[in-house]
Structure 1
Amino acid sequence: MNKHFYQKFVASALALIMFLGIFAGVDTVKAEAGLNVNADGAIMVDGETGRVLYQKNADSPLGIASMTKMMTEYLLLDAVKHGKVKWDQEYTVSDLVYKISQPTGLSNVPLRLGEKYNVRELYEAMAIYSANGTTIALAEVIGGSETNFVKMMNDKAKKLGLKNSKFVNSTGLNNKDYNGEQPQGTGAEEENVMSPRDVATLAYHLINDYPDVLKTASTPKKVFREGTDDRIVMQNWNWMLPSLVYGYQGMDGLKTGTTDFAGYCFTGTASRDGKRFITVVQNAKDVSGKNDGYKARFGETKKMLDYAFSNFTKETLVPKHYQVKGQKTVPVIKGKEDQVKIYTKSAINMIIQNGGKQDYKPVLVLDKNKLNKNGELTAPIKKGEKIGYLTVAPKSGEKVSFLTPEGGQQVKVDVIAVNGVEKSNWFVLMMRGVGNFFGDVWHGISTAVKGWFN
């Protein structure tokens, strides 16, 4: 790995860690007190909103190995969605793909030089069996070459807000495993790196933008090239799928990764009782600090998921049509009424610590562009017109942390006018003006008279 690049990453990561530590959410603090994940980096988030529930070295760039393939999956599914690639599209094996697919020491299915394979079977081999040769094949399908595809990976990382990530190949292999044929512009000793937060963010986008990925990721076993000499049974490396050796109820994704550089890594996701969580462990270890492989990464993942399902619940913090005490109306000028009632258009639901509902308060924010300097609205106002928004915040003053800005928007709801307020006609407005004038005059006279006798 490029030493200068790594040092720069570490420096920026430490700055981010200090910043984020100041603004850690109340439930995150509680979770960190109750969990001790044995890994170089880890994170646990709500799969629906991306709310961060636990984090450890969340912004430190670490090795990811085959978890890299989640980005390849994302770009493939995006290309299919936009009609750039078709599932039945055929691919002819290149020299590089043939060479990479042959070593039995790497995760692979056998691919024949010059043989044609369709995109779907290449994708299934990558998503289920973590096949490296098929991953490069897909990179060539999408980008024309793996070199071009790596650029696409890094460009997409920027668009998704992955600030502590760098991709040097599509597979997660050590670049040296390419035997000098790694993507152009990358060194033989370079590695793919991501922070736990970035891995979770990628997984969050993957399962929410393309939820069908879970149908493939949750396939415990599938036969590649049935009826041919290349037939191979692909058993999913995610051994936490319910029917496999470390089976976990509700587990349906997402991606493992293992290299000497990265250690044993795993991005897991499970759904139960209307709740979904995403977890990430990088270089997982046992309680003694030793890296004991599969057991460690799945054991630490189970620890986090058990904690999440037992200690967090989805609560309605703000019901639909909620009115904030003392702020149920907004004054109106130039209208037939002098105020308008306001309430929330919809409810706010959020994953929180059990019994923690009372720890949150509603926060009303009115649209400053619609208010005058006295905090008044100007008629006419339509029924259902947006007047501002309402969100929730911990009473302690701490901040709720989300993976993405979009996630944070899910706990903001529009505040709207309950009824319309028509604008008064010119005569009524004129008479009000006259009344106000004489009212001001009388107030001035009475004040002066009082002053004579003081």
Structure 2
Amino acid sequence: MQRQFFLLLLVIIPGLLLVAEDLEIHSRSAILLDASTGTVLFEKNADEPIPPASLTKLVTMHIAFQDIAMGKVHLDDIVPIPRAAWAINQSWGSSLMFLGPGQRVTLRELLLGLAVCSGNDAAVAIALYLAPSIEVFAERMNQEVQRLGLTHTHFVEPSGISEHNVTTARDFAAFCRFYIAEHPDAITNFHAVREFAYPKAENVPETYRDNPRTIVQSNRNTLLDTLEGVDGLKTGYIIESGYNIALTAKRGDTRFLAVLLGGPGRSSLQGGQIRAEDGTKLLEWAFANYKTLHLSPIPLPQPRIWKGTLNKTNLHIADAVIDRNTNMLSFTTSIHRGIKLNQNIEIFEPVVAPIQVGTIIGRLIISDNEGTLQQFPLTVDETIPKGNLIKRMIDALILCFIAFFKNIGLT
């Protein structure tokens, strides 16, 4: 079920997608979508393979949150810091939270070190806490993205420093949408945190507690403070990728998600500015033109089944995004539409057995005063075989009478 969720995740609705030429985006690859519905609103070279750089850390965090949810580890666990995770042992150019020998650090602090500081040392420490080696942890990352149907994504390590990690904007947007839905508290508790101070007195050996040399680092996502509604997710950069960002913002009931890969820049200052400009342009355009509507679907009828072993069956709304907690149906529409919504059900009668599970026999039509906004197929949720000969003959006779009376205008 979860794999199917991802394969159907990013949908393009005719009339909603803006062609790439209409927005000047400097990044080599980009995609913009409604985070609630998966509707793609803009894309540019969205299937080009590019190293994700530190966006990789979102997958590392996801694996950690999985283990926390299963009770294997806990946020307040004291995590050993192996030599491989010391800051001084990270690759040149690494972002760091400055882990070192003798320190005491919790898993929560390491996750903040990933989300805020983008620490490669934190990524290594988490990976080696959850797996016996970097290679084993990377294999778990790959198994997870494969399970989610992300066929163009592959990892060799958990920090993003390697150019051999690879993804596409489309794949990674799908992952981010899943990540936000699966770990909603991560936005507030980690990705929207503005700064992180480490090491503090409680983190260092007793002899250094009078002067722990605390370093305060600001979140690498500068749009947290400059663009309304932004609360995540992650920036990234290596030479081989350019400037990357997975960006999300929520205003009212609408959340948009953008992934930009391969941004240009001759310096970190210039690259960061161009990346921020691209992200701002996409999100502001999205909020100016689109919104997410949420509504409770009307009760579905049980249509009459003819010539089958059953007389009635239950219906299922297919291709729809329905919140499993609230039972609210969500879809994307123009900012100017959907002031007053109407729902109608159309059944393609007569419904005659045999019918396979998933067969479309009707549609749910959502409209406003300007016309149809969205249509969702209605499918049967069980296979219904043909009935016995007597049942088929009786139903055939009834259908003939119904057709006759329709023809003479009596029904």
Please say whether Structure 1 and Structure 2 have the same fold, judged by a TM-score greater than 0.5.
Answer: yes
Specify the code of the residue in structure 2 equivalent to 1:235: S
The structural deviation recorded for 1:103 is 7.2
Correspondent of 1:203 among 176, 181, 187:
176
1:258 to 232, 237, 257: 237
Check if 1:218 corresponds to 2:192.
yes
| Counterparts of 2:308 and 2:380, CA distance in 1 | 22
1:193 paired with 2:172, answer no
State the distance in 2 between where 1:342 and 1:105 align: 56
C-alpha distance in 2, partners of 1:92/1:315? 47
Q: 1:110 to 1:285 in 2, by over 3 A?
A: closer
Match of 1:295 in 2: 273
C-alpha separation in 2, matches of 1:300 and 1:362: 40
Q: Specify the code of the residue in structure 2 equivalent to 1:351.
A: T
Residue 149 of structure 2 is aligned to residue 161 of structure 1: yes
- Contact 1:31 / 1:54 at 8 angstroms: preserved in 2? yes
Q: Which of 117, 126, 137 is the aligned partner of 2:125? A: 137
User: Does the 8 A contact of 2:98 with 2:198 survive in 1?
Assistant: no
Going from structure 1 to structure 2, the CA distance change for 1:365 and 1:217 (only over 3 Å counts) comes to: farther
Counterpart among 94, 99, 116 of residue 106 in structure 1: 94
2:256 corresponds to 1:268: no
Q: Distance in 1 between matches of 2:316 and 2:150?
A: 37
Give the counterpart of 2:111 among 120, 123, 134: 123
1:42-81 aligned within 5 A: 42-81=30-69
Contact 2:150 2:171 in 1 (8 A): yes
Task: Please name the residue that 1:13 is paired with.
Answer: none
Give the conservation status (yes or no) of the 8 Å contact 1:367–1:387: no
Which of 222, 242, 253 is residue 239 of structure 1 equivalent to? 222
Q: Against the structure 1 CA distance between its residues 366 and 140, is the aligned structure 2 distance closer, same or farther, given a 3 Å change threshold?
A: farther
For 2:197, give the aligned amino acid: V
Displacement after TM superposition at 1:356 (Å): 6.4
Check the 8 A contact 2:60/2:141 in 1, yes or no: yes
Alpha-carbon distance between aligned partners in 2 of 1:162 and 1:342, rounded to the nearest angstrom: 30
| Deviation of 1:57 (Å) | 1.1
- Aligned partners of 1:214 and 1:252 also within 8 Å: yes
Deviation string, structure 1 residues 333-375 (Cα, Å, up to 9, x no partner): 799xx99999989875311234567xxx98967799x8426x9
Is the Cα contact below 8 Å between 2:17 and 2:40 reproduced in 1? no
CA distance in structure 1 between the partners assigned to 2:303 and 2:293 by the alignment: 26
The one-letter code matched in structure 1 to 2:217 is M
Superposed CA offset, 1:213-240 (max 9, x none): 1011000112223234141112100000
TM normalised by structure 1 equals: 0.66
Structure 1 residues 164 and 362, CA gap change in structure 2 (3 angstroms): farther
- Alpha-carbon deviations, 1:229-262, whole Å to 9, x = none? 14111210000012xxxx1111000000011111
- CA–CA separation in structure 1 for the residues paired with 2:232 and 2:145: 21
CA contact (8 A) 1:321 1:343 kept: no
Deviation at 1:70, TM superposition (A): 0.6
1:225 maps to amino acid: P
**Following superposition, which runs of at least 4 residues in structure 1 exceed 3 angstroms of deviation?**
27-34, 99-105, 315-319, 328-335, 338-349, 354-357, 361-368, 386-394, 410-416
Offset of residue 97 of structure 1: 1.1
CA distance in 2, matches of 1:217, 1:367: 51
1:149 Cα offset (Å): 0.4
TM-score, length-normalised on structure 2? Answer: 0.72
**Corresponding residue number in structure 2 for 1:314:** 292
Question: Aligned residues, how many?
Answer: 351
Q: Deviations over 1:387-413 (max 9, x none)?
A: 96635699xxxxx9xxxxxxx9x9666
Q: Is the 8 A contact 1:43 1:58 kept in 2?
A: yes
Equivalent residue runs for 1:365-384 within 5 Å = 371-372=352-353
Cα distance in 2, alignment partners of residues 364 and 143 from structure 1 = 53
- Cα distance, 1:151 vs structure 2: 0.6
Cα distance between partner residues in 2 of 1:334 and 1:109: 66
The structural deviation recorded for 1:54 is 1.2
Q: Deviations for 1:419-454, whole angstroms, at most 9, x for unmatched residues?
A: xxxxxxxxxx99x96xx69x99xx9xxxxxxxxxxx
Please report how far the alpha carbon of residue 281 of structure 1 lies from its aligned counterpart in structure 2 after TM superposition: 0.7
Amino acid paired to 1:198 = D
Question: Identical aligned pairs, as a percentage?
Answer: 25
Residues 87 and 98 of structure 2 are in contact (CA less than 8 Å); yes or no, is this contact kept in structure 1?
no
Residue 262 of structure 2 is matched in structure 1 by: 283
CA distance in 1, matches of 2:328, 2:195: 41
Conserved in 2, the CA contact under 8 Å of 1:389 and 1:414?
Answer: yes
SS of equivalent residue, structure 2 residue 281: helix
When Rg is computed on C-alpha atoms for both structures, the one with the higher figure is 1
CA contact (8 A) 1:284 1:297 kept: yes
Residue aligned with 1:240, SS: helix
Closer, same or farther: CA 308–342 of 1 in aligned 2, 3 Å:
same
271, 283, 289: which one aligns with 1:305: 283
The gaps in structure 1 that reach 5 residues or longer are 1-22, 175-189, 376-385, 395-399, 401-407, 417-428, 444-454
Q: Does 1:41 align with 2:14?
A: no
- Cα distance change on mapping 1:388 and 1:240 into 2, 3 Å: same
> Structure 1 residues 348 and 74, CA, compared in 2 at 3 Å: closer, same or farther?
closer
**Partners in 1 of 2:141 and 2:148 — Cα distance?**
11
**Counterparts of 1:199 and 1:191 in 2: how far apart (Å)?**
16
CA RMSD of aligned residues (A): 4.5
User: In the alignment, residue 350 of structure 1 is paired with which amino acid?
Assistant: F
Q: Which amino acid counterpart does residue 271 of structure 2 have in structure 1?
A: G
